[in-house]
């Protein structure tokens, strides 16, 4: 049995899927398997094709070639409303003149669910997103975060096997966004639904996902757990897109790590010490001068440059700085050290 034939509820499978808009391929020969009950994120820069993939799963966009399966059923040619998926958009798309309760009941009404039953199911969904107290209000009487939760309740009440979310938190401010990330994740775990989540925010994807597909120019550069894509990026693009990187190759890599292939050292792996520091066993080191220091609250980011002009970025938790005092200052001579085992080779 091939994976596209799995009949587990909420199993999404794309085979050789391409999408062309005129001459431009937004998605190119994509194979993708999303597991049942998984929180799966598609992460990538603007224009990398992630929304187009989501829209092809939803049925809002036809495929140019390839197939889409859900639970083993070939849904490639089905209309959106015949698919067992629902989509939550960034702009919520609530009906402004209907109460919250009526907004959530709406989809059940179109499915001809009897009145009492749909009231019960809608109340349960509103309860799940913790908004029972405002069920009688109109959408404009809610905050942005509350409207987003209602949009979610409206999708959840239809009990889709797969919920598609297109940058659903994009319109929220940072604090609300972080609260909603936790809530979304909790709701997903409790409901046991497959979530396919589009975002260009790498921290958001890392925080919420079981697995992440990193998109670039219509292709998946790497697919893995947050830990895998961060610690072992398959390409320089992935290393650069997820967090800050120190990418070195050729002579620079040879000088610092003793080999000339493309390597990456994450900034949090690099420790800074005063001039003259002797590295411990299993540590590599380089001497340099501090050229920039940035305080970001929890961390201090320091950039150093050695005599050959090679720059390294180091981030340290302020809590861990010696004596909790200030970091190094611009112009200080320092020794940067890192464990040799923390140098990651980038395969491509």
Q: Which stretch binds ligand ATP (CB under 6 A): 41-49, 141-149, 264-272, 323-331?
A: 41-49
Does 21 engage in binding with ligand ATP (CB under 6 A)? yes
Distance CA 255, CA 260 (A): 8
Does 50 engage in binding with ligand ATP (CB under 6 A)? yes
Q: Which stretch binds ligand ATP (CB under 6 A): 39-47, 130-138, 284-292, 333-341?
A: 39-47
Annotate each residue in 283-302 with x if it binds ligand ATP (CB under 6 A) or - if it does not, as one string: --------------------
Out of 12, 17, 26, 263, point to the residue binding ligand ATP (CB under 6 A). Answer: 26
Does 51 engage in binding with ligand ATP (CB under 6 A)? yes
Does 266 engage in binding with ligand ATP (CB under 6 A)? no
Out of 18, 20, 47, 321, point to the residue binding ligand ATP (CB under 6 A). Answer: 47
Identify which of residues 85 and 157 has a Cβ nearer to ligand ATP in the complex.
Answer: 85
Identify which of residues 73 and 201 has a Cβ nearer to ligand ATP in the complex.
Answer: 201
Does 243 engage in binding with ligand ATP (CB under 6 A)? no
Identify which of residues 47 and 72 has a Cβ nearer to ligand ATP in the complex.
Answer: 47
Annotate each residue in 52-91 with x if it binds ligand ATP (CB under 6 A) or - if it does not, as one string: x---------------------------------------
Distance CA 321, CA 319 (A): 6
Q: Enumerate binding residues for ligand ATP (CB under 6 A).
A: 21, 26, 44, 46-52, 200
């Amino acid at each position: 049995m091939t994976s596209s034939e799995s009949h587990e509820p909420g199993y999404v499978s794309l085979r050789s899927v391409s999408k062309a808009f005129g001459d431009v391929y937004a998605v190119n020969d994509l194979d993708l398997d999303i597991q049942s009950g998984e929180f799966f994120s598609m992460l990538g820069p603007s224009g990398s094709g992630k929304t187009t993939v989501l829209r092809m799963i939803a049925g809002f966009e036809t495929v140019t070639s390839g197939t889409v399966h859900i639970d083993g059923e070939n849904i490639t040619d089905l209309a959106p409303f015949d698919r067992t998926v629902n989509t939550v958009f960034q702009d919520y798309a609530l009906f402004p003149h209907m109460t919250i309760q009526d907004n959530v009941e709406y989809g059940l009404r179109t499915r001809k669910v009897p009145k009492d039953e749909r009231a019960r199911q809608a109340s349960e969904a509103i309860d799940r997103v913790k908004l029972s107290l405002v069920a009688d209000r109109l959408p404009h009487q809610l905050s942005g975060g509350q409207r987003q939760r209602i949009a979610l309740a409206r999708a959840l009440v239809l009990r889709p096997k797969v919920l598609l979310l297109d940058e659903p938190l994009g319109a929220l401010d940072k604090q609300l966004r972080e609260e909603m990330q936790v809530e979304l994740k909790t709701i997903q775990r409790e409901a046991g639904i497959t979530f396919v989540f589009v975002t260009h925010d790498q921290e958001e994807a890392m925080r919420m996902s079981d697995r992440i597909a990193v998109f670039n120019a219509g292709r998946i550069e790497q697919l893995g757990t947050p830990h895998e894509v961060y610690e072992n990026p398959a390409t320089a693009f992935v290393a650069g897109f997820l967090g800050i990187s120190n990418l070195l190759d050729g002579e620079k890599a040879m000088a610092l790590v003793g080999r000339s292939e493309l390597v990456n050292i994450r900034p949090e792996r690099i420790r800074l010490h005063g001039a003259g520091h002797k590295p411990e066993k299993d540590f590599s080191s380089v001497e340099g001068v501090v050229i920039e220091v940035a305080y970001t609250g929890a961390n201090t980011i320091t950039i150093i440059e050695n005599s050959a002009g090679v720059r390294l970025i180091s981030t340290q938790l302020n809590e861990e700085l010696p004596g909790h005092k200030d970091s190094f200052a611009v112009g200080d001579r320092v020794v940067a050290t890192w464990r040799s085992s923390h140098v990651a080779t980038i395969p491509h």
